[in-house]
Amino acid sequence: MKRFIAVILILILSTLLLSGCSSSDGTDDPNKIESTEYGFAFYYDNGWTEDVADSGISFKSPSDAAGVSKARISINVNDTDVTDVTEYWSAYESSLMTSFGDYTLKKEFTGDESVMLDGIKAVRAEYTATVSVVLYRFALVLCINDGHIYNILLSSEEAVFDVYSPCINTITEDFDFTGSVPENESRDTSTGGRAESQNGEYYFNISEGWRIDRNDGMIAVKPADGGNATVSVMVFSLSDEKANYGVNDYWKEYEEELKSTYPGYAFTREYAENEPKLGGVVASRKEYSITIESVNYKYIQVICITKGYVYSVLFASNDDEYAKYCGEFDNIITEFRFS
C-alpha cells in the first residue's frame, strides 16, 4: 500500500468535476480517442467534447439551453505499487469517508455485475457527496494494469446523473489498452507559475521545479522530478448546523476521523508561537504523521474558515523526502491569496 495510501489521503480522490487532460492523439472518427501518451483507446457519446485539463483526459457533457455543461468525465493514469484493485478501492473509499461527511455508497458493481476493462478485473461504484452545498453523484471505474491505476470518473449533480451516466458505459465497454504508458519524463513537465482555482476564488504561485498535477474541485501540485510529495488545496462548505464553527472545531472533528481511519496517526506539532494566516485570514497550522506498514508519512496542514467555507492546504510526503520538499508548502502559504 505504501505510496498509495499516503497520496490518497491528500488527493481526496473524486472532488467535484475532475478535469485532467493534456493533448491526446485524435483519429478520423470524431467519437474515438486513441492516446499514445496514456496507452489506451475508447469511444465516447455524441455531443460530449474534450475539455482542457492539466493531466489525463477530460470530457464535458453537451451544454444545456443556458450553455452550461452539467457533467464531466475524466480518465487519469497514475503509478501504483498496489496490485489488487479491490484493495485500492478499499483505501480509496476510506479517503472519501474521511473527506466528505455525507459520503454515501449508492451502488457497487460486484458478483455477476463485476466490471472488466479490456478483459482486466476492475471495480465500479456509484456514490454521492455534497460539494459546496450541492449534492453530486459520481460513477467511478478503477483498474490496475502494468503498474498503473486507471481512474475513470463521471461527476454530475445528483438530479441529472441519469441523463449523463450512459457515456461512462460507452467508454468502458470498448476500452482498449493499446500499449505501455511512457515514462513520466515524456509528458509535459512545465514548472513554476501561478495556480488558480477554476472558479477564481483563490490563487497562489508555485516554484520552479513544481508543476500542477490537477486542478478541479481542488488544486494539487507535485515535484516535477517525480518525488513522492504533494501540496493540495481543498475547499469544503460548512453545513447550517456548523455555521458558527471555528478552525479548532473543524480540526477536532477532522482529527477524530483521522484517528478512526488510520491507527498509525500521531499528532506532532501545533503552531502556537505565532498566528498563522492564509490569504490574510486567521488560520490553524498542524503537523502530524501516519505510519502504515512500518512506513512513516508526514503532513503539514493549514486550515482557515471564511464566508462559510473551509480552506485546507495540505502537504504530504514520506519521511525520507520530507526535508527535500516541505519548503514548497511554506512558499504556497506565503503566496496564497483570495481573489
Q: Return the residue matching grid coordinates 493499446.
A: 178
Highest mean pLDDT among 22-36, 195-209, 320-334: 320-334
Residue type, 210: W
Half-sphere exposure in the Cβ direction for 336 (13 Å, CA): 27
**For residues 28-50, average pLDDT:** 84
Report the share of the chain in percent with pLDDT over 90. 32
298: nearest Cα among 286, 308, 282:
286
Q: What is the pLDDT of residues 242-265, one digit of tens each?
A: 888 888 898 888 888 888 878 889
3-state secondary structure of 41: strand
Rg of the chain on CA atoms, in Å: 20
Tally the residues of the chain.
Answer: 339
Query: Is-same-fold flag (2-184; 189-338)?
Result: yes
Q: What are phi and psi of 270, to 5 degrees?
A: -115, 130
Burial class (CB in 10 A: 0-12, 13-18, 19+), 67: exposed
Q: Which three cell numbers stand for residue 40?
A: 489506451
Q: Which three cell numbers stand for residue 71?
A: 457533467
279: nearest Cα among 250, 253, 312, 252:
312
Q: Which three cell numbers stand for residue 51?
A: 475539455
pLDDT exceeds 60 at position 157 = yes
How does DSSP assign 150-196, residue by residue?
EEEEEEEEGGGHHHHTHHHHHHHHT-EE-SPPPPGGGS-----EEEE
- How many other β-carbons are positioned within 10 Å of the β-carbon of residue 81? 11
β pairing state of 71-79 and 57-60: antiparallel
Q: C-alpha angle 93/326/295, rounded to 5°?
A: 50
Q: State residue 334's pLDDT score.
A: 94
Which DSSP state fits 238? P
Tell me the domain boundaries of the chain. Answer: 2-184, 189-338
Going by pLDDT thresholds of 50, 70 and 90, the confidence category of residue 89 is confident
Q: What is the pLDDT of residues 159-201, one digit of tens each?
A: 999 999 999 999 999 899 987 766 544 344 456 788 888 677 8
pTM for this model (two decimals): 0.58
Burial class (CB in 10 A: 0-12, 13-18, 19+), 214: buried
Q: Which three cell numbers stand for residue 232?
A: 493540495
Q: C-alpha angle 104/52/224, rounded to 5°?
A: 85
**For residues 207-234, average pLDDT:** 82
Q: Which three cell numbers stand for residue 142?
A: 478503477
Contact 176, 196 (CB under 8 A): no
Q: What fold does the segment set 2-184 form as a domain?
A: Protein Transport Mog1p; Chain A (3.40.1000)
Q: Architecture of domain 189-338 in CATH?
A: 3-Layer(aba) Sandwich (3.40)
Where is 260: in which H helix or E strand? helix 247-261
Report the share of the chain in percent with pLDDT over 70. 80
Question: Between residues 287 and 191, which one has the greater pLDDT?
Answer: 287
Which DSSP state fits 64? -
Q: Rounded to 5, what percent of the chain is helix, strand, coil? A: 25, 40, 35
Q: Which three cell numbers stand for residue 174?
A: 470498448
- How many other β-carbons are positioned within 10 Å of the β-carbon of residue 86? 13
